[in-house]
Homo-oligomer: A and B are copies of this chain.
Amino acid sequence: MSDRRLTIEDIAKLSGVSRGTVSRVLNGNSNVKTETKEKVLKVIRRTGYSPQVYARRTAGAKSYTISIVLPMIGTDFYARLIKGIEEKLHAEWHIPALFPILSRERLVWLMKPDVPVYDYDGIILCSLVPERLFPAGYFLSDKPVLLVDGFSPSYDSIYVDNFLGGYLAGNHLVKYDGPQFIILMKEEKRGPFIEVFTDRLSGFTRAVTEKGGSLPQDHIFRHDLSMSAGSLALRDIVQKHGLPVNIFATCDLYALGIIEEANRLGLRIRKDIRLVGFDDHEWTGELGITTIHQPIEEMGRTAAELMLKRLQGDKSAVRNICFKPELVIRDSA
């Protein structure tokens, strides 16, 4: 046997039919006599032949695959989002291919049109803003493009009202005495990624000031996205400002770090430290963290459903779907 990969032509010869017939049994739709079909199938099984996916697509077949571009993997947020997307896609026999933007260079790579991201039936961009991503202001694709955890008037967008989320947190924390603090992720201003943390800060600030409070610059802690960032921030806060304090941890991971550090410092959650997180990840229940719920899986499912509709040819106006976050009160505040 030669080393080269088998082609449809080989299978045709081997089973004594034409290339077209092999293609028909491969695709299973059109009418092929059972007998012929069996004959071809037998050869396929015996030889282990498999068609080249890209050749099929060159010839006009669908890929049944959706590109998902996302800033990272490894966080609960994206794991839940992808889970929601996968769930719905799967039901319609589509599947996601993930392209994480793990480095700055990958961002310029994304702007090249001849990259496999654009190779599939549709594209879901997570937490990205096309207007800022592309110099021309628009996205390089003739396929349906949809935004999750991101907003643009020009694209289907599924997102959550982060300002409101911050506001709800603030509105709850101001009921306690003591100063207000916030810890959030450093975000590039008007960079390619959506600035959800900045929105949460804005909403929080609004709530605090509305009640006559204030949020001085040194009550705002910006860090990278990690548990230890929460620990660090708490240490700083307690050292400089004493107790009690109220802290809005703009993601649950920070809240976790804060609780850890509080334990080490022997501080009491709720007494010394009032804490509100963000995301309502599964483990926050057990830890008694009061948090802002955002329907992450549902956003994913909604996005996938809309994408599927677009793929079926739905040409209706751009949809912007905004979910409302909710305060989930538990022990920590």
Contact = CB atoms under 8 A, between A and B. Distances in A.
A294 to B, nearest CB: 16
B113 A120 contact: no
B86 A95 contact: no
Interface string A68-84: 00001111101110110
Contact of A116 (B63, B80, B100, B106): B63
* Residue of A73, A79, A231, A286 with highest tally of chain B CB at under 10 A: A73
Interface stretch (A54-62, A194-202, A203-211): A54-62
A271 interface: no
Given A75-B74, A227-B283, A228-B286, A51 B103 contact: no
15 contacts: A26-B114, A48-B136, A54-B57, A73-B74, A73-B78, A86-B102, A90-B105, A95-B109, A95-B116, A96-B100, A226-B282, A228-B286, A257-B283, A259-B260, A260-B287
A161 interface: no
Counting chain A residues whose Cβ lies within 8 A of the other chain, the interface size class is 35 or more
A24 to B, nearest CB: 14
B74 A79 contact: yes
Contacts of A131: none
Contacts of A116: 53, 63, 65, 95, 97, 120
A134 to B, nearest CB: 11
B115 A106 contact: no
Question: Copies per complex?
Answer: 2
A52 interface: yes
Contacts of A142: 5
Interface string A270-298: 00000000000011001100000000000
Nearest to A76: B74
Contacts of A154: none
A258 to B, nearest CB: 12
Nearest to A231: B286
A102 B257 CA distance: 28
Contacts of A18: none
Interface string A256-268: 0101100100000
Interface string A141-153: 0100000000000
B114 A56 contact: yes
A109 B93 CA distance: 10
Nearest to A83: B102
Interface in A112-132: 113-116, 118-120
Nearest to A110: B95
List 6 A-B pairs, minimum CB-CB distance, nearest first: A74-B79, A50-B113, A98-B98, A54-B54, A73-B73, A58-B58
Nearest to A112: B50
A140 interface: yes
Contacts of A227: 283, 286
A99 interface: yes
Interface in A280-323: 282-283, 286-287
